[in-house]
Chains A and B, each alone.
Chain A
């Protein structure tokens, strides 16, 4: 239906970034960026690419929900242009409409003109974070999220007994939280019960290949993934080893920064990126694999993120060039598979995580990997391009919209009559589980592959 544009021209971020401590408002300075400051504002050339044709409208989740121009991709680009001309301030309506964007990038897929909305959004969100004061409640809630999710140790602590959030919040936040029932409820209802054993289990630092060696893969174990979906990491390691890869999972690895990056917390994302690059440089791997769509998407962008930093630009590019989603890695081995697949008789519905399908344009690889399992019948989802509402931390920040999208996705999944749902992102799994709890098993695709190689029933599938 929609076009799948080829990757557009290379990014053109303004490289005038100096080493100034705190950026100031360009309008105050009399700069040329209107209401934006001069630190990587949305580039004029990227804004100009939009011809206002509207092809993005149907696949935009917020437009699908509300039908309002300001909450559509072309509407948001229009607002960015107005801000860029200094006609509207960042505070107020502008921030509201940019905050409501899920960052799912379905519009990038749909756009025939090749508008790089992903870059526009990533340039805009940090501007808001720098210049728009959040309400106290909003600020504290965001801080709480970012004080928790990127830290495995804290997540593990929080996971015990399911009283995840209560354990961490400072006493002073009680009053604030009382005012935020929907957000807090959203946060708590998303997190699944976790077996303590799994939450604390560790992936071995080195797992040798079985049989002739293809190479050395570094595995990002992730934060939420490792604590709440540890079996996915275990399955990933087993599949990679079975297919002839040495798997290196550096113990000292920390968060890749995706959650922060996608929320406009640029400085934090930059620091995390540098740390992770250094970690995997030491590991000396050929490929860096991830089984999380959101992480893969941000790690592939490290080159752009650190482009202005002479000490890191090259290292970041080298790192990004090695990053592969697990489905890409396994797909490449399908021509010459080492491990025999045992049949799994099941109708499988695959949900494209936005950060895999739209952001990384990886759609056929996971499908090929799944079809390579004998017995699997793959069915397609109606409205496949529409986000499930997870979108990083969106379902915690904008629970009402996320809820509407979650229910819509659940309805579409139910309609397929599939035996099992697979998707390659923990955020999607958590979100969809909330609306389909107990109705059908939900797995990461690699768990099906793993079960097929081992000749066992997939988890949750009895």
Chain B
């Protein structure tokens, strides 16, 4: 039962409108973009500024409540799934762009600012924010920091961590600290780097200073169809060997293109086995010379079509076809899981063949969309909840992530570990590794109240099979509780 005195304190701090206690409201926060994992929180609070966030965290500390910071709730690893009897701190009212510092090419942002809004606000000055997750129109910079988000253009420009200079962070006890600094180079251990990608387990970010880049002089994009996944994979290898550093190299298979084309009409060839979207940017002469080289490489590998959009609008259309792909899969399957793993680029063809086999064995379809340039895969496991395929899909998805580790890669490229893959962490890290991570976490959050149950495997979580919550028979009998 909720402590009435506690609720009153939250209401005094945040006003009636900033505290959600009704069942319907609470339930609408029970999951993020990964709907297979659900947990109704005890309370949802919506602070309006950094001070209120700190106040809310202090109240959580006072009452010993665990809490989960939440941005737009678009995450795909269950990172923002609430904790039972815990508080959700929504940062969706902190959406101000505090400063665009044109001279120093920096922007100071509240955590709830949508990723794309940063580039929109910087555009009049010829600047933009480089990391571009496919969900950039809706995902927030706070969430990007928590997940160290990537995006198509991170191949050349790096991930969120390469673009965040400074952060204001509220720690679990409610104290406010600054990590990093406005110039990027700081003495001592890189606590900024430690925080980025910590998935909300170290504190709540309330202010972010990011680097802005100059909009490239020239951008050239090609959409190339290939007769096979292997041909497309080999093309990527040759491009890298030719010392060309594209801004982006994205691959889609035919199933992903079918879905995306239905949603966007972007001009993808639906029956092509594979396609690459390759983009070069930089000074005009350099781009033109490399582009010629690039198209020659594509042709050498038997590209069946090279579509080179000339207008910016046309180029955006191609990108829309890529970026809407995840959500568009909803058109060809009632339910699906987006997986996120990394393999060494040289093993792309191998991993795709293995995934196809595993899909056949599980009798499930798998669509593939991925950042081919850096080996970051996004297999989409299609299933039907209604047909009872959830568990099989969840297992296939987990197996794919662990296959990536087996091939010398990583469990996650950019979506995070969250709830979804916490139990796979031992596949990648030794007990010592995990022990060190845990001690680091305790240094920030001694009571483990910041987003507990995420990122790190826990006996409670991993004793059960990961998947949709189903009450244990002993729970149903009222003998044990899920804490």
Binding site for B on A (CB under 8 A): 1-6, 48-55, 57-58, 63, 66-70, 75, 78-79, 82, 88, 92-94, 97, 110-115
Contacts and interface: CB of A to CB of B under 8 A. Distances in A.
A50 B324 CA distance: 14
A314 B90 CA distance: 50
B326 interface: yes
Contacts of B138: 54-55, 57-58
B301 interface: no
A435 B229 CA distance: 56
Top 4 nearest A-B pairs (CB, nearest first) are A67-B92, A113-B330, A112-B327, A93-B24
A7 B137 CA distance: 22
10 contacts: A3-B320, A51-B35, A54-B74, A57-B74, A58-B137, A68-B20, A68-B90, A68-B92, A69-B28, A113-B328
Given A53-B33, A53-B74, A88 B327 contact: no
Interface string B423-438: 0000000000000000
Nearest to A50: B330
B283 interface: no
B331 interface: yes
B446 interface: no
A5 B137 contact: no
B324 A82 contact: no
Nearest to B35: A52
A130 to B, nearest CB: 20
A6 B35 contact: no
Given A52-B33, A112-B328, A70 B90 contact: no
B95 A67 contact: yes
Nearest to A48: B334
Contacts of A68: 20, 25, 46, 90, 92
B324 to A, nearest CB: 4
B138, B262, B326, B386 — which one has the most chain A CB atoms within 10 A of its CB?
B138
B112 to A, nearest CB: 7
Contact of B330 (A3, A49, A54, A66): A49
Nearest to A54: B74
A193 B123 CA distance: 42
Contacts of B335: 51
Interface in B334-381: 334-336
B58 interface: no
B33 A78 contact: no
Contacts of A63: 92
A3 B264 contact: yes
B319 to A, nearest CB: 11
A1 B116 contact: yes
B104 to A, nearest CB: 25
Interface string B314-336: 00000010001011111100111
A93 B22 contact: yes
Given A49-B330, A75-B28, A54 B33 contact: yes
Contacts of B25: 68-70, 93
Contacts of A1: 116, 137
Nearest to B333: A51
Interface string B80-103: 000000000010110100000000
B286 interface: no
B369 to A, nearest CB: 13
A446 to B, nearest CB: 27
Given A112-B263, A114-B263, A51 B330 contact: yes
Contacts of B305: none
A55 B29 contact: no
Contact of A5 (B28, B95, B264): B264
B12 to A, nearest CB: 20
A5 B35 CA distance: 23
B332 to A, nearest CB: 10
A93 B27 CA distance: 12
Contact of A57 (B17, B72, B334): B72
A63 B320 CA distance: 23
Given A1-B137, A53-B327, A54-B138, A78 B28 contact: yes
A75 B135 CA distance: 18
B24 A70 contact: yes
Given A79-B24, A79-B28, A54 B135 contact: yes
A410 to B, nearest CB: 20
Given A3-B328, A70-B20, A110-B137, 7 more contacts: A49-B331, A53-B326, A54-B74, A68-B20, A82-B24, A88-B23, A97-B24
B45 to A, nearest CB: 11
Contact of A3 (B27, B90, B324): B324
Nearest to B316: A1
Contact of B114 (A49, A58, A70, A75): A58
Contacts of A53: 33, 74, 135, 326-327, 330
Contacts of A58: 114, 137-138
B46 A67 contact: yes
A54 to B, nearest CB: 4
Contacts of A113: 263, 327-331
Contacts of B334: 48
Contact of A112 (B20, B33, B114, B264): B264
B115 to A, nearest CB: 10
A69 B121 CA distance: 25
Nearest to B29: A69
Nearest to A64: B95
B64 interface: no
B265 interface: yes
Interface in B5-38: 17, 20, 22-25, 27-29, 31-33, 35
A49 B328 CA distance: 10
B409 interface: no
A66 B336 CA distance: 30
Given A51-B335, A52-B35, A68-B20, A6 B265 contact: yes
B118 to A, nearest CB: 13
A52 B36 CA distance: 11
A2 B137 contact: yes
A2 B135 CA distance: 10
A198 to B, nearest CB: 42
B452 interface: no
B73 interface: yes
B359 to A, nearest CB: 20
Nearest to A57: B138
Contacts of A82: 24, 27
Contacts of B327: 51, 53, 55, 111-113
A55 B46 contact: no
Contacts of A79: 24, 28
Interface in B219-246: none
B298 to A, nearest CB: 27
A5 B138 CA distance: 17
Contacts of A69: 25, 28-29, 73, 90
A114 B263 CA distance: 7
Nearest to A114: B331
Nearest to A89: B24
B121 to A, nearest CB: 10
Interface in B26-65: 27-29, 31-33, 35, 46
A239 to B, nearest CB: 30
Nearest to B321: A3
A84 to B, nearest CB: 14
B28 A70 contact: yes
Nearest to A69: B28
B265 to A, nearest CB: 6
Nearest to A65: B93
